[in-house]
Structure 1
Amino acid sequence: MIRRKTSLRNRIRHWLGDETGAVVADFAIMLPVFTMFMLSSVEMGLMTFRQTMLERGLDMAVRDLRLGFEENPTHASIKEATCSYAGFLPDCSTGLRLEMQPVDLRDYTALPSDADCVDRSEEVQPVRRFVNGGSNQLMVLRACIKIAPIFPTVGLGKQVAKDGNGDIALFSTSAFVNEPS
């Protein structure tokens, strides 16, 4: 029996052409990446849904204020209306914080950057700013709710800013003018 010596070039060419186990290796490499993308997309979808519901609830509550359904709005009454219109916000009655204040149209630049939110890891704090304002005054109403991420240790749930309790803050802002009575 005659054996031929194979050159190094032929051995490398044969090794590169061999695909046994390539599918398993590709699967093993791509599975964690694919799983992270899937979990992140579920997290982002739910966050977007909850943000949309918060904005809808606040807009509907402000609509009630504009139409005059409520004479002297309080933090509790607007919070209750926002939660009932929003629907799918977990722990809305305890986690939602509203902030309402009048703004001067001629001197307005921006709202303070530190929004008023509930932080469940700290002691309960009273409502910071909630002023009904006078007639023909522009009012800005800002809502903040804290929600817990579904997958807090993977992908997007790991990357978003969280408070001391591990909750994510969602904000919504609306404005209206107090009509003269």
Structure 2
Amino acid sequence: MTSALRLRDLLRRFSANEDGVVTVEFVIIFPVFMTFFLMTYESGMISLRHFALERAVDVVVRDVRIGAIPNPTRASLRTNICNVARLLPDCENQLQLEMIRRDLRNWVDVPDTVQCIDRGAEVQPVTSFTSGGNNELIFLRVCVRLDPVLPTSLLGRTIVDANADSAAGGSYALVSTTAFVVEPFRNTPGS
């Protein structure tokens, strides 16, 4: 009987003891808040990088449109975009450009498929790149492959798992598309 009374007394004291209550709550709630924080950070970085890409494409296209870059090449556009979008790591090697000329009088839709860097291939897919002349309509599509900042966080791991094929290599693609008409200009000496 005495052991039963001791056990009851011990259980009563244990249930009345409030030591460690905060620790239990912390252990339960901390992982949830940390998961939300890491997901917010990752999605913020994706948004920030996409903003940087969109802005860089707009700045470079403006220069092409007004003639500041008179004869754009794939390499010169890639370099200029990467110089403006400094938040894109390994930009020169991960950026794919597609420049398509379209005739407004004989319209053909721009293909829906976006060509991105294939991380599993040694030779990259060929993309259309035709710079336009004065008053021509040009579509420029830019795709950049980026790795998640936090690949072990919930959002980062989801991105890596969803893009596990050899072409993506655990990365995600950011795409920027723009259309513009090359302004009529004349390159004259001294201007």
Normalised TM-score (structure 1)? 0.80
Q: CA RMSD in A?
A: 2.7
- Tell whether 2:138 aligns with 1:139: yes
Aligned-residue offset at 1:179: 2.9
Residue of structure 2 equivalent to 1:37: 36
Instruction: Give the length in aligned residue pairs.
Output: 169
* Cα deviation code 1:111-147 (max 9, x no counterpart): 4232111122222215411111343221110111111
Residue of structure 2 equivalent to 1:89: 88
Residue of structure 2 equivalent to 1:28: 27
* Cα deviation code 1:51-88 (max 9, x no counterpart): 11111111111010111012221111111111111122
Residue of structure 2 equivalent to 1:67: 66
* Cα deviation code 1:2-51 (max 9, x no counterpart): xxxxxxxxxxxxx7x98665433332222221111111111111111111
- Structure 2: which 5+ residue stretches go unaligned? 1-14, 186-191
Q: Does structure 2 retain, via aligned residues, the 8 Å contact 1:101–1:131?
A: yes
Residue of structure 1 equivalent to 2:172: 168
- Structure 1: which 5+ residue stretches go unaligned? 1-14
CA distance in 2, matches of 1:26, 1:119: 46
CA change 1:57–1:18 in 2 (3 A) is: same
CA change 1:32–1:132 in 2 (3 A) is: same
CA distance in 1, matches of 2:135, 2:30: 59
CA distance in 2, matches of 1:140, 1:179: 14
CA distance in 2, matches of 1:70, 1:150: 33
User: 1:48-127 to 2 correspondence within 5 Å?
Assistant: 48-105=47-104, 111-127=110-126
CA distance in 1, matches of 2:104, 2:18: 70
Q: Does structure 2 retain, via aligned residues, the 8 Å contact 1:97–1:127?
A: no
CA distance in 2, matches of 1:110, 1:48: 29
Normalised TM-score (structure 2)? 0.76
Q: Does structure 1 retain, via aligned residues, the 8 Å contact 2:102–2:108?
A: no
CA distance in 2, matches of 1:91, 1:124: 18
Q: Does structure 2 retain, via aligned residues, the 8 Å contact 1:105–1:138?
A: yes
